[in-house]
Amino acid sequence: MHVDLGSALDATPGVSRASLERLDEQVATAHERIEAGRRNAEHGYAALNLPDTVDLDAIRSAVAPFDDPAAVLTVGIGGSALGAATFADALSDPSDPDAYFLDNVDPEHVSELLASLPLDRTVLNVVSKSGTTAETLANFLVVRDAMADAGVDWTERTFVTTGDEGNLRGLAAEHDLPSLPVPEGVPGRFSALSTVGLAVAAIQGHDLDVIRDGATEAADGLSGSLFETPAYAYGATAYALAGRGALMNAMMPYAERLETFAEWFAQLWAESLGKDGLGQTPARALGATDQHSQLQLYRAGPRDKLVTLVRPRERVDRDIPETDLDGLAYLGGSSLGDLLDAEFEATEASLAASGVPAIRVEIDAVDERSLGSLLYEMEAACVLYGELASVSTFTQPAVEWGKRAARGLLGGGDFEEAEAVDDRTSLVVE
């Protein structure tokens, strides 16, 4: 990716070139720690080795039995779904099998989705590292039951991606299901470039080797200076701005195909960095749509935001027809791409004029290589931010607390977290 920090230099809050040069010494130290973690395949840091360690042949073998599916349905939540969804939405083609994701347990949505799918031509991909994730297993049981009701042998339409132990691993062994391992030492939100994120891309026919090549190029480009490494430029500047009060990060891609990428980024940033009273709250936006819904706040609201503007340098374009309508003739002869680029640059200038920090991130195109690079570099940016902030980037204790509370409420064991639900203060207005 290509990163332009210019709009963060003369902003409020903002950073200076001199402050970034001072910060670069800390980046060099953090880079040494990251490289040591990678060499030793330590928990979390192992995610940055995935371009070398992911087994693409295993992925292809696991999905090979499913010939000519109409759809693939992934049952997973959070990192078990968002990476795959990012690739599916960014690379989608009308000729691909449709990709769907059950990452919530809303009963109306689940029922409507299952009623709309050709279950006899749908591949079911169940993803849970532990094999015990309540939401994932509940949805799986519902889907399995729907397949049985439709006269479909679910064992012929299902593969699982899971750890070495747990319910899903036992299920795969019992029914001889194709299966993929969740890589050791890789938290779910960092698993997009692994078996977890790439199996759906394989079913849809996307080039896994090129995705990996993009990630490998990004990995090879990591160095000890933010001025030489786009990933570190982004992560270090976001960290510096957060320390100066920019405690929100609005991720705003100017490409419909990257809207799910903003969701993926939100989990990566929030779950990794929200620790010890620190972190930067991610917000999701879409250019140019949210210029008409959120930009007012970004420009004129509290000075607590960084806006990250993302766009591809190349895209398929479409001409705007000539018109003689009053006030619209200027549009004729240009294209939708020209208009979207003008909106991007106008938003960037608008933020700069009001002193709001922004970072421009550009990728070559929305394709396999650029996506592999973009996701890898955002992961590296996140890890660097965590090192600079001295937070435990790869844990998620608050999430685990909620899981235990929910399990206790459903009768899945005695958990003191569940008891806290009864202690909640309420003030009901009806």
Would you name the residues annotated as active-site residues?
271, 292, 403
User: Which residues have CB under 8 Å from 385's CB, separation 6+?
Assistant: 235, 236, 238, 239, 272, 273, 280, 393
Instruction: Give the length of the chain.
Output: 430
**8 A C-beta contact, residue 122 and residue 70:** yes
Question: In Å, how far are 19, 29, 78, 224 from 25, measured between CA atoms?
Answer: 11, 7, 34, 9
**8 A C-beta contact, residue 429 and residue 311:** no
**8 A C-beta contact, residue 195 and residue 183:** yes
- The tokens for 98 are 């449709």
